[in-house]
Amino acid sequence: MILIIGTTKDDIIYYKNRMRIKEEGKINAVFPYYVGKLANKDVCLTYTGFSNISSGIITSFLISKFRPYIVIITGAASTLNSKVEQADLFIAEKIYLGDIDLTSYDDEVKYGQIKNLPPFYSSDEDYIRMIETINSKTENRHLLRGPLISTNAFYNDAKLAAKVIKDKFGNIESMTAFDTEAGGIATTCVIYGVPWLLLKVISYHVGNEIEFISSPRISVEAQPHIGYIIEVLLEELVHSFNEF
CATH label of the domain that carries residue 23: 3.40.50.1580
Domain assignment present for 122: yes
HSE-CB of 63 using CA atoms within 13 angstroms? 24
Top-confidence residue, 97 or 173: 97
pLDDT at 173 over 90: no
Q: What's the whole-number mean pLDDT along residues 164-177?
A: 80
pLDDT at 127 over 50: yes
Domain assignment present for 141: yes
Count of residues making up the chain? 244
Q: Which residues pair with 79 in a beta bridge?
A: 177, 205
In angstroms, the first-to-last Cα distance of the chain is 8
Q: Estimate to the nearest angstrom the gap between the alpha carbon of 182 and the chain centroid.
A: 5
Identify the domain containing residue 113 by its residue range.
Answer: 2-239
Asked if residues 202 and 86 have their Cβ atoms less than 8 Å apart, the reply is yes
Supply the pLDDT for residue 237. Answer: 86
Domain assignment present for 133: yes
Q: What is the pLDDT of residues 53-66, one digit of tens each?
A: 999 999 999 999 99
| Cα 190 to Cα 127: distance, rounded to the nearest angstrom | 16
Domain assignment present for 189: yes
Structural domains of the chain, count:
1
Domain assignment present for 137: yes
Give the burial string for 160-187 (b: 16+ CB within 10 Å, else e).
ebeebbeebbeebeebbbbbbbbbbbbb
| Cα 2 to Cα 236: distance, rounded to the nearest angstrom | 13
Domain assignment present for 92: yes
Q: What is the pLDDT of residues 72-81, one digit of tens each?
A: 999 999 999 9
Asked if residues 127 and 197 have their Cβ atoms less than 8 Å apart, the reply is yes
Domain assignment present for 50: yes
| Cα 49 to Cα 30: distance, rounded to the nearest angstrom | 9
Domain assignment present for 244: no
| Cα 236 to Cα 195: distance, rounded to the nearest angstrom | 17
